[in-house]
Amino acid sequence: MNVKVTFVGTSHGIPMEDRYCACTMLEIGEAIYFVDGGAPVIHALLQRGLDPRRVRAIFTTHVHSDHTMGLPHFIDLVNWVYKEHTVDVYLTEQRWIDGMHALHLGMDIAPLDTNRIRMHVIDPATTVYEDENVKVQFIPTKHLGDEHPSNAILITAGDKRLLFSGDLSYGMHMKDFPTVACEEETDLFVCEFAHGLTFDNLGKYFDACKTKRLYFNHVWPMSKLADIEAAKEKYPFEVVASYDGLEIEI
């Protein structure tokens, strides 16, 4: 089955006039999944004529606002509008989930129905999401050092494999590149490109990368778009700087 990938938000930590923060939507058959929710998820769906009740699960790479702040409104609407709908949301820390509940109570509306809005804390060692469409695994990274967790996300959908780096350590000083990108074949690898990351400190990994498509998101500074453009000649796989609204089918 094909996977339709929509780059809903591709900005780095701060939104831009033409870019929401990190958020990628996957459509597989009738089901919809999100990787990170830094863009307004509910609007991303409605603006594309997609029924929000098609969203099965949302996977996040870490708790930073540019990866999660589009989620509270969606979760709130599942709670009181789409009342027959169930969604799984995977987060890296319990404190975000506690904050979501507190925010909800602060809005003086019904408590979140945790039977339908199932928020899970990811343990990369043991957490696996699996349904009839996808198997999703989490690979630890060191974006937040040793203090707080972060993870890359590997999605297997039939014979297709998609890898999302999430945010990585500054300048790769924690050597947390998800090396599964070099060890196993993927159809799409979405790699962040802020945090002092360059073709110098990531080059050895890209040289060994076994993907068919290397797409960058979360690029900063934007002058690095020129570096990505120049790298297109260098690699045997497709190299693309993603942008909001870009859709591909793999």
Q: Which residues bind Zn ion (CB under 5 A)?
A: 13, 64, 66, 167
Q: Which is nearer to Zn ion, 79 or 150 (CB)?
A: 150
Q: How many CB atoms lie within 10 A of CB 175?
A: 11
Q: Which is nearer to Zn ion, 27 or 167 (CB)?
A: 167
Distance in angstroms (rounded) separating the CA atoms of residues 101 and 47: 27
- Closest distance of CB 166 from Zn ion, Å: 8
Q: Which is nearer to Zn ion, 142 or 160 (CB)?
A: 142
- Closest distance of CB 117 from Zn ion, Å: 24
DSSP E strands, 18-157: 23-28, 31-35, 55-59, 87-91, 117-121, 128-130, 135-141, 150-157
- Closest distance of CB 152 from Zn ion, Å: 13
- Closest distance of CB 49 from Zn ion, Å: 28
Q: Which is nearer to Zn ion, 220 or 237 (CB)?
A: 220
- Closest distance of CB 111 from Zn ion, Å: 29
Give me the phi and psi of 183, to 5 degrees please.
-95, -30
- Closest distance of CB 229 from Zn ion, Å: 22
Two structure tokens written together for 209:
């990368």
Q: Which is nearer to Zn ion, 64 or 161 (CB)?
A: 64
Q: Which is nearer to Zn ion, 22 or 28 (CB)?
A: 22
Burial grade of 68 (CB within 10 A; 0-12, 13-18, 19 or more): buried
The residue sitting closest to Zn ion, measured at its beta carbon, is 64
Q: Which is nearer to Zn ion, 133 or 150 (CB)?
A: 150
Two structure tokens written together for 212:
């068919």
Question: 24 with 34: CB under 8 angstroms?
Answer: yes
Under DSSP, is residue 49 helix (H, G, I), strand (E, B) or coil?
coil
- Closest distance of CB 218 from Zn ion, Å: 6
Buried b (16+ CB within 10 A) or exposed e, 223-239: ebeeebeebeeeeebeb
Distances (CA, A) of 95 to 92, 100, 127: 9, 9, 18
